[in-house]
Amino acid sequence: MSKLIKLFTYLLAGIVGLALIATIAIYLLSERKINQLYSAPTDAIAIPSDAASIERGKYLASAVSVCVDCHGANMAGGVVVDDPALGRIVAPNLTKGNQGIGGQRSDADLVRVIRYGITKEGKSVRVMPSDDYYHLSDKDLGALVAYVRSLPATDSNLPAITMGPLGRALTAFGQLDIYVADRIDPKKPRQKDAETLAALDKGKYLADISGCTGCHGPGLSGGQIPGTPPDYPKSSNLTPSGNLGKWSEADFIATIRSGKTPEGKTLVDEMPWKNYRNMSDDELKAIYLYLKSVPARSTGSR
């Protein structure tokens, strides 16, 4: 009897020991990924200070590239994801207020994180769609930085970023697609000057910098959004084989402005229509033209 108990104790100790080793290994591997350092070219971008450029930056931040969706309407930060298993992702306060990082970032730091997804510390930004912002022209990027610089100081009381046990395990095994710098190839061509584009090219430019292609996929066919949990809403097929194939330009604009589709569906908040509804008619028309021009794809083929 006592022999059996002894054997059982050894077995239990073995299992606990293995679990401990696995936990430590997952912790160390995930820390290594989180702290991985990246380098990027230093781009000389002119940062304007005139009122018109700051206004353009504000428009981009609130209606097009929708920084406000995560950083909040006043850009004083916000909780993006809070999941006990995956973790809590928080977008920092970008102003110079209490807890704000506005006073601790140079223009070059802001350019690097928006365009290449690399923080001041040299790590990959998590979740923030810099792979979409990579497409911003120098002029629009300069306007965005000018706007961030102009923000009035606002205090915040944000919790810290934490990684949950599942978030750590998925990170350790390279299965958590939130390390955005990994998705960015600094050699990929991008729009140099977006001001003189014809409507169709302008539509493509806008679909890239506003994140339509980030969530709906490079081929716009919808499906699971990278880095989101399995129960997160799937994005819709925006190619001509989806509902949009049947919509008129007016239907499309009304959908973005009202959050209601011609089929009578109310769009979920994960689709940032409440920000996009402030886009100008001209820009929405250009996006519509572009969406109508892409090849039809079956839903979820990205």
Q: What type of residue is 11?
A: L
Residue 290 as a binder of ligand HEC (CB under 6 A): the answer is no
Residue 129 as a binder of ligand HEC (CB under 6 A): the answer is yes
- Report whether 68 contacts 93 (CB < 8 A): no
Q: What type of residue is 91?
A: A
Minimum Å distance from CB 184 to ligand HEC? 14
What distance in Å separates the CA atoms of residue 142 and residue 195, rounded to the nearest whole number?
14
Measured at the alpha carbon of residue 80, what is the angle toward residues 112 and 186, in degrees to the nearest 5?
A: 25
Residue 15 as a binder of ligand HEC (CB under 6 A): the answer is no
Name which position in 69, 131, 138, 140 contacts ligand HEC (CB under 6 A): 69
**Residue range at the interface with ligand HEC (CB under 6 A); choices 13-21, 85-93, 165-173, 182-190:** 85-93
Dihedral over alpha carbons 18, 20, 22, 28 (to 10 degrees):
-150
- Closest Cα partner for 138 from 196, 192, 185? 192
Q: Number of residues interacting with ligand HEC: please give it, by CB under 6 A.
A: 54
Minimum Å distance from CB 14 to ligand HEC? 37
Residue carrying structure tokens 């690399």: 118
What distance in Å separates the CA atoms of residue 73 and residue 62, rounded to the nearest whole number?
7
Minimum Å distance from CB 102 to ligand HEC? 8
Minimum Å distance from CB 154 to ligand HEC? 15
Residue 76 as a binder of ligand HEC (CB under 6 A): the answer is no
Q: What type of residue is 163?
A: M
Minimum Å distance from CB 4 to ligand HEC? 51
What distance in Å separates the CA atoms of residue 43 and residue 259, rounded to the nearest whole number?
38
CB-neighbour burial class of residue 8 (10 A; exposed 0-12, middle 13-18, buried 19+): exposed
Minimum Å distance from CB 120 to ligand HEC? 4
**Residue range at the interface with ligand HEC (CB under 6 A); choices 20-28, 104-112, 151-159, 194-202:** 104-112
Q: Map the footprint of ligand HEC across residues 208-247, applying CB under 6 A.
A: 210-212, 214-216, 225, 233, 235-236, 238, 242-244
- Report whether 127 contacts 80 (CB < 8 A): yes
Minimum Å distance from CB 101 to ligand HEC? 6
Residue carrying structure tokens 């022209």: 137
Name which position in 47, 54, 70, 184 contacts ligand HEC (CB under 6 A): 70
Name which position in 58, 76, 87, 92 contacts ligand HEC (CB under 6 A): 92
**CA distances from residue 268 to 241, 261, 301 in whole angstroms, order as listed:** 21, 11, 22
Nearer to ligand HEC by Cβ, of 103 and 189: the residue is 103
The length of the chain, given as a count of residues: 302
In the numeric block, which tokens belong to residue 277? 């509804």
Name which position in 111, 143, 287, 289 contacts ligand HEC (CB under 6 A): 287
In the numeric block, which tokens belong to residue 149? 């610089």
What distance in Å separates the CA atoms of residue 50 and residue 48, rounded to the nearest whole number?
6
Q: Map the footprint of ligand HEC across residues 155-214, applying CB under 6 A.
A: 161, 207, 210-212, 214
| C-alpha 250: how far from chain center | 28
Q: Which residues of the shown chain bind ligand HEC in the complex (CB under 6 A)?
A: 61, 65-67, 69-71, 80, 89, 91-92, 94, 101, 105, 109-110, 113-114, 119-120, 125-129, 133, 144, 148, 161, 207, 210-212, 214-216, 225, 233, 235-236, 238, 242-244, 255, 261, 265, 267-268, 270-272, 276, 287
